[in-house]
Structure 1
Amino acid sequence: MPTYAVIGATRGVGLEIVRQLAANPDNTVFATARNVEKSLHLAKVIQEAPAKNVVALQADVVDHRSLKVAAEKIAQATGGALDVLIHNAAKMDYANGNLYRSLTEYESMDALDAEFIEAFKVNTLGAIHSVDAFLPLLRKGSTKKIVIISTDGGERDVVWKTGTTILAAYCVTKSAENMVMTKYAAELVDEGFIVAAISPGVVDVSGTAASPRMSAISW
């Protein structure tokens, strides 16, 4: 029975990944949320899963200790193994209006620094925290796969060709996340791991968005 951990599973792409994985009764899916009790969309997917094969776990990628706790709970349920890790957590800050700013459009360097540091914690360090927490379980799994949900906005060629100057903090820190994926791929290849970053393209997430402005994930 394949086991999956989906990190960042409360809405959008992560939620849909959970729903589709849960449709196969042979799968067991562990879905993380920063606040399980408030994750109503995830609760609905869990309730509607035909095989009741989805388990919600509380964890925040900024808090590496919470991911370790989630990994321990999965180990208890699976005998210490995990087959596939899908890291989907990301920060796109609509609330303060900074999401669509370019590098020259912040009102101050302090505001830019604060936005970039928070984005880096989630989009870059979050991926490291996630992989490191679950790596001992993945080493005992049967498939040894790590998937990071990335974005074309983190690719230099795409940004250059499209002339995209906005989304500065998001694109820069997701570009760093792509390097995180590459570093893990190089380190783990001799152990038989497959590590990949996948960009889903423009995805309409309005149905489960936290904000009415979140009509799509660009790239």
Structure 2
Amino acid sequence: MPSYAVIGGSRGIGLELVRQLAMSADNTVFATVRNKSSSTYLNELVAKSTLSNIHVLEAEVTDHRTLKAAAAAVAKVTNGSLDVLIHNAARMELANAYRGLTDYEDDDKLDTEFLDSFKVNVLGAIHAVNAFLPLLRKGSAKKIAVIGSEGGTPEFVWKLRLSNMAAYGTTKAAENLVAVKYAALLEPEGFTVVGICPGFVDTSSTAVEKPDDTIMSILGGLVARLPAISTNFTLISTEASVTRILSLVDSISTKDNGSFIEYVEYKKDD
């Protein structure tokens, strides 16, 4: 039975990853969340499942101890192995997510947001991979997929003139590089480590926060500019995004190690 761990599975893309993976009775699915009791959507999914193949574990990506405890819990179920790790956790606090480098009230608040984002988006990915790596080494697939963002790539940021989303984009760029570092480190062991961009995904149905008028205006401007640089980059559903992600996870092999698989297809420059 293939085993999957989804880091950050309480809502949005993570929740849909768990749902689609758990549809197969052949899969054993582990989902980490910060708080079980408040993970309403995931709890509902587990309650409705007839296969009993979803295991929910509490872990905070900024606390490596909780991730190691989650890995130990997985090991008890799988006899010490794990086939696929999908790292989905990310910091996307609406109050700060769409701020640019000069949009903070003062430098202390800028520092706080950048450091908090770094802890989740960069160190969180490192701690998650490190915690589950002993299990992945004993697995049959040896696959790690880090859900990245084109907002962390220079080409997308420049073509879209995306000056806001500063802390998020900067730390997601660092996370993209973390995936490549693991790809280089684990290549001799036959691992496949990739970054995957999910696209511009509508996760509003399970969002904790609802965007205010200012954020909706920023998002509207973003969406309006996308057709100028891309042939396909439009708002898509979580279901469509995750179907693509899981298809990629299934099809990648060692020849894809170190890749960053983008969603956007850029228009050719005139």
Following TM superposition, by how much is the alpha carbon of 1:49 offset from its aligned partner in structure 2, in angstroms?
2.3
Q: Give the distance between the partners of 1:66 and 1:128, measured in 2 at CA.
A: 14
Q: Does 1:90 align with 2:90?
A: yes
- 1:39 equivalent in structure 2: 39
Which residue among 186, 203, 207 is the counterpart of 1:205?
A: 203
Provide the residue aligned with 1:191 in structure 2: 189
In the alignment, what sits opposite 2:165? 167
Give a deviation string over 1:182-208, Cα, whole Å, max 9, x none. Answer: 000000011000001100111111111
Q: Which residue of 2 aligns with 1:115?
A: 113
Deviation at 1:62, TM superposition (A): 0.3
User: 2:29: which partner in 1?
Assistant: 29
Measured after TM superposition, the shift of residue 3 of structure 1 is 0.3
2: distance between equivalents of 1:212 and 1:112? 23
Deviation at 1:155? 0.6
Q: 1:115-156, CA deviations, whole angstroms, 9 ceiling, x for partnerless residues?
A: 000000000000000000000000000000000011110111
Q: Is the 8 A contact 1:80 1:137 kept in 2?
A: yes
Letter in 2 for 1:31: A
Partner of 1:20: 20
Equivalent-residue separation in structure 2 for 1:16 and 1:75 (angstroms) = 24
Aligned to 2:246: none
Q: 2:147 aligns with which of 140, 145, 149?
A: 149
- Rounded to whole Å, the distance in 1 between the matches of 2:96 and 2:150 is 19
TM-score when normalising by structure 2: 0.78
* Other-structure match for 1:158: 156
Inter-partner Cα distance in structure 1 for 2:205 and 2:4: 24
Separation in 1, partners of 2:46, 2:10: 11
Distance in 1 of aligned mates of 2:9 and 2:59 = 11
Measure how far apart 1:29 and its partner are: 0.1
* Distance in 2, Cα, partners of 1:69 & 1:144: 21
* SS of residue paired to 1:30: strand
Runs of 4+ more than 6 Å apart: 214-219
Instruction: Give SS of 1:148's match.
Output: strand
**CA shift digits 1:97-120 (9 cap, x unpaired):** 222111112111111100000000
Q: Distance in 2 between matches of 1:195 and 1:98?
A: 30
Q: Deviations over 1:3-43 (max 9, x none)?
A: 00000000000000000000011000000100011101001
Following superposition, the deviation at residue 56 of structure 1 comes to 0.3
Larger Rg: 2
1:102 alignment partner in structure 2: 100
Could you state the TM-score of these two structures normalised by the residue count of structure 1?
0.96
Structure 1 residues 118-129: aligned runs within 5 Å? 118-129=116-127
C-alpha deviation, 1:48, in angstroms: 2.0
**What is the root-mean-square deviation in Å for CA atoms of aligned residues?**
1.6
Aligned partners of 1:23 and 1:50 also within 8 Å = no
Q: Secondary structure at the match of 1:203?
A: strand
Gaps of 5+ in 2: 220-234, 237-262, 264-270
Q: Distance in 1 between matches of 2:49 and 2:177?
A: 35
Query: Sequence identity of aligned pairs in percent?
Result: 55
Shift of 1:50: 3.1
Name the structure 2 match of 1:77: 77
State the alpha-carbon separation in 2 of the partners of residues 147 and 49 from structure 1. Answer: 25
1:57 partner SS: strand
Relative to its length, the structure with more helix (as a share) is 2
Alignment of 1:43-58 (within 5 A): 43-58=43-58
